[in-house]
Amino acid sequence: MAYIVDLRSDTVTKPTKAMKHAMVNSALGDDVYGEDPTVNALESKVAILLGKQAALFVPSGTMANLIAVMVHCNKRGSEAFVGHLSHIYKYEQGGASFLGGVLLSTLENKPDGTFDLAELERRIRGGDLHEPVSCMVAIENTHNVCGGKVLPQEWVDKLGELCAQRGLALHMDGARLLNASTYAGESPARLVKPCDSVSLCFSKGLCAPVGSVLVGSYHFIEQARRVRKALGGGMRQAGVLAAAAAVALDEVAPRLHYDHKRARLLATTIQGLFLKTFSVDVKGQHTNIVLVRLSSSSPLTADAVLQRLAQVCLAETQGDCKTPNDEGVIVKAVCFNPKTIRFTLHHDITDEDLWLAIMKIVYVFKELDAANPLK
Ligand SMILES: Cc1ncc(COP(=O)(O)O)c(C=O)c1O
């Protein structure tokens, strides 16, 4: 038996005791009729937290983003601008096009998660009948593929001004918005001030089992409610889930800084090894996601590294790479591309787990670095 430290994602967390208690004991009603008091309370709480008029509880971050796109782009031939590394573009099955009939146009994401505003301005359509109609822009904060980066607020504010001038809606995929606000030391409301709509997930880093929320104006949420129903996202006694989400905000969100601290420790440890194969951008280490890059001159792939991290060899348990109970250690992570590994810290990783993970990662990285000289 091996001890597993699961750093694949901040979605692998289990609901806390307080969440389970709230799920069993909260008042319920039919939310499609707007009669679930726990859902209504959660929606009000999040609308206030984000400084917007209204909110809508939905099953997932993917659905929250899709609804936002479908409401902002509610005419055929609409165009939404997104970063080429955005979750909406890369990981949501092109739902905006598939289900919403919306053209997703990409802008090249820079390593900090932003894109060039001058390029956006050039590409906004001018009403020529050969072209689609530019309707919205979506940004992501924190930016997952860019390594949990918090968008520079000055840039978000400038983008908001540009969108307002050109009549485009601005949506923020804030699946991890509370990580961003924790890092920035700013209120979530401040971070999303320039945005017309925002999605936020309770099941990423916040330990709730299910659920996201979409916020915006009364008018936007009224339309979003209709689209949610059409997508099959109208849930009945959804207070069972909303109860856990409310606890996530009160109990887990204030602890996100611990995940950031642990992620930083992991990043600095890897950097401190000064290995030729593996590197980490410690300066750009903002929140709970650690990206490890493999040198392009290394014959190793991210996949091969993950496979090795998932194995325990005899030398590990006979030596020092083991738990106090003499178990080997397995570290789970994901690869973003053949040369990038993502480790994600989360609530269910204790200091002991972190130390075991670091021990194993250091062992494996040193071993692979020595066995695979650069080409
Ligand atoms: C930035 C971002 N947005 C949206 C989503 C989609 O959330 P869900 O898995 O709840 O559909 C994710 C999922 O990991 C994400 O990382």
Ligand 1 centroid distance, CA of 63 (Å): 9
> How confident is the prediction for the chain on average, in pLDDT?
97
DSSP 148: S
Pocket test for ligand 1, best of 10, 12, 13, 62 (most atoms within 8 A of CB): 62
All structural domains of the chain:
2-10+255-371 (3.90.1150.10), 17-252 (3.40.640.10)
Ligand 1 centroid distance, CA of 94 (Å): 13
CA-closest residue to ligand 1 atom 4: 61
Ligand 1 centroid distance, CA of 149 (Å): 15
* pLDDT at residue 159 tops 90: yes
Residues 334-362: what's their mean pLDDT? Answer: 97
- Could you give the CA distance from residue 138 to residue 194 in angstroms, rounded to a whole number? 12
DSSP 277: S
Q: Tens of pLDDT along 319-331?
A: 989 999 999 999 9
CA 184 to each of CA 20, 62, 83, 142, 262: distance values in angstroms, whole numbers, following the listed order: 31, 25, 22, 11, 17
- Could you give the CA distance from residue 200 to residue 65 in angstroms, rounded to a whole number? 9
Helix (H) / strand (E) element for 187: namely none
**Pairing, β 197-201 against β 169-173:** parallel
* pLDDT at residue 199 tops 90: yes
* pLDDT at residue 333 tops 90: yes
Q: What is the pLDDT of residue 1?
A: 83
Q: What is the pLDDT of residue 158?
A: 98
**DSSP secondary structure string for all residues of 38-87:** HHHHHHHHHHHHTT-SEEEEES-HHHHHHHHHHHHT-STTEEEEEETT-H
Backbone phi and psi for residue 240, each to the nearest 5 degrees, phi listed first:
-55, -40
Q: What is the pLDDT of residue 375?
A: 86
CA-closest residue to ligand 1 atom 13: 61
- Could you give the CA distance from residue 263 to residue 279 in angstroms, rounded to a whole number? 14
Pocket test for ligand 1, best of 91, 176, 200, 288 (most atoms within 8 A of CB): 91
- With a 6 Å cutoff on the Cβ, whether 36 touches ligand 1 is no
